[in-house]
Structure 1
C-alpha cells in the first residue's frame, strides 16, 4: 500500500498526541476516584470511632453512605463518558490539525518536485526561488537552485564545445574538399604536388585536433593509477624537445614528486612548455621553476595579453585572436587540457598576464593526503 509522507506524519503525530491525552485523562480519572474513595473511608472511620450520641428522636431514611456511593457512581460514570467523548473529539481534531500542518510544511517539497518534473535541457533556466524563513526546506530549495545553475552552465559549455569542435573539424574538411576539386580539375604535376602539400597540412591539423580532444577527455576522466612522477625530470625532457634556436629557456629545477598518471602529467608539462615557446617572439625567454613550495611556475615573453581574457584561455577552443584560419598551428585546447589534468590530480592552475607581455602560469601542487 502506497502512503505519502503527509499521511505518515499525520498518523505519527496525531497518534502520539491522542495516546498522550488518553493516558493523562485516564490517570486523572483514576486519581480522582482514589481520592474520593480515600475521603469516604476516612469519614467512615471517624464516624465509627467518634463519641456515640443518643438522639432524642430517631429518623428513618436512606443511609447517607449509600447515598454517597450512589452519587459517586453517577459522577464517575458521567466523568468517564465526558472523558471518552473528549478523547474522541480531540483525536479527530488532532488528526485534522496534523493533516493541515503537514500539508503546509510539505508545500515547498511539492514546489521543488513540480519544478524538477518540468525541467529539461530547454528550460534549465527555471528556478524555485523559494521565499520564507531560512530553514531546512529553504536551504534545500537554494541548494536545488544552485545545482540547476551548475547544470545550466554545464549544458551551455557542452553546446559551445560541440559547436566549436564541429567548426574546427569542418574547416580542414572544407580545405581538403576544395583542394581535391580544384586540384583534379587540372591534373598537372605542379597542381597535384600543390594539392598534396595542402592535403597533408589539412590532415595534420585534423590529427592535432583529434589528439587534443582525446587528451582533453583523458584528462577529465582522471588517472587510472597513481604512481610517483618526477615533475622536474618531465620539465627537463620537455625543454629539450621543444627548445628553439631563438628562444632562451632558463630552468630552476628541484626534485618534486607528484602522485599521478605519468602520461597525463607529462602531457601537462609538454603543453605548458610548448605554449611558452610557441607563443613567444624571436629572442624571447622562457623561465621554468619547479620547487616543493612553489609547485611549477612557467613564464614567457611574448605579445601583450589582456588580463581580462586570461581566464578564457582555460576554456576549449579559446585563443587570443578571434580568427580560426590563422591558428592552424593549434586547436586552442592546450591550456584547457592542462586545467583538466590538474583538476584530475587535485591540483590547481592559474595564469596571470605579464606587464611586458606573455603569461605566467602557476601549477599549485596538491597538499599531503
Structure 2
C-alpha cells in the first residue's frame, strides 16, 4: 500500500533515467519463473528492440512484477501467462493469462484499490486487492494509460501504454 500512496502522492520524475522496458520485463519474468513452475503455469516473454521509456526503474520494475503476480495468481493449473513488450506509437506492455472467465465490467473495476472479484472470505487467494491499483498508479505517474479486457476463453489481458523516450 505504501507504493500506491507514494506513487499517487508524487508524479514520477522522468529525470532518473531512461530504461529498456524489454530488459526489465525479461528480468521480472525470470524472477517469477519458479513461481510459475510451482503453479503448473507456462510463462512466456516476447520483446521488441527499442522499447526505452523515461522514468523510475524501481517503479517500472514493480509495475511488471505486479502484472505478472496478478496473472499468475488468477490462473488455472496447466494455463499460461504471456508477457509482451512492444513498440507501437507508444511502448506497450501486455500481459495475458488463461484464468477463469472475467466479465468486462469486472475487468475495469480491478484497478480500484481493495476491489477483488471474490471476497477474501470466499476465495483461497491472499492479497488485499491493491496489485492492479498500484499498476494503474505507476502507469499514470509515467504519463501512460492502462486497460484490462476479459479474454473470450477466460482470463484477462492487461495492456499498459507508456510514452517512449523522446530521443
The answer to whether TM tops 0.5 is: yes
After TM superposition, the runs of 4+ consecutive aligned structure 1 residues lying more than 4 A away are none
> 1:266 maps to which residue?
61
The structure, 1 or 2, with the larger RCO (C-alpha pairs under 8 Å, 6+ apart) is 2
| Counterpart Cα distance in 2 of 1:328 and 1:302 | 13
| Counterpart Cα distance in 2 of 1:337 and 1:344 | 10
| Counterpart Cα distance in 1 of 2:41 and 2:2 | 29
> 1:248 maps to which residue?
42
Are positions 1:237 and 2:6 aligned together?
Answer: no
CA offsets 1:262-309 (integer angstroms, 9 cap, x no match): 111110011001111111111101111111116111101011101111
Out of 273-282 and 325-334, give the one that drifted further: 325-334
Are positions 1:335 and 2:132 aligned together?
Answer: yes
Distance 1:283 1:291, change over 3 A: same
| Counterpart Cα distance in 1 of 2:111 and 2:21 | 21
Alignment of 1:97-246 (within 5 A): 213-220=1-8, 221-224=10-13, 225-243=15-33, 244-245=36-37, 246=40
CA offsets 1:122-175 (integer angstroms, 9 cap, x no match): xxxxxxxxxxxxxxxxxxxxxxxxxxxxxxxxxxxxxxxxxxxxxxxxxxxxxx
Are positions 1:318 and 2:107 aligned together?
Answer: no
| Counterpart Cα distance in 1 of 2:31 and 2:146 | 23
Q: Which segments of 5 or more consecutive residues in structure 1 lack a partner in the other structure?
A: 1-212
| Counterpart Cα distance in 2 of 1:328 and 1:235 | 25
CA offsets 1:52-74 (integer angstroms, 9 cap, x no match): xxxxxxxxxxxxxxxxxxxxxxx
> 1:307 maps to which residue?
104
Q: Which is richer in strand?
A: 2
The alignment partner of 1:357 has SS state of: coil
1:322 Cα offset (Å) = 2.7
| Superposition TM-score, scaled by structure 1 size | 0.41
The alignment partner of 1:222 has SS state of: coil
Are positions 1:292 and 2:87 aligned together?
Answer: yes
RMSD, matched Cα:
1.7
The alignment partner of 1:317 has SS state of: coil
| Superposition TM-score, scaled by structure 2 size | 0.87
> 1:361 maps to which residue?
158
How many residue pairs get aligned? The number is: 157
1:226 Cα offset (Å) = 3.1
| Counterpart Cα distance in 2 of 1:277 and 1:354 | 15
| Counterpart Cα distance in 1 of 2:65 and 2:138 | 12
The alignment partner of 2:163 has SS state of: coil
Q: Which is richer in helix?
A: 1
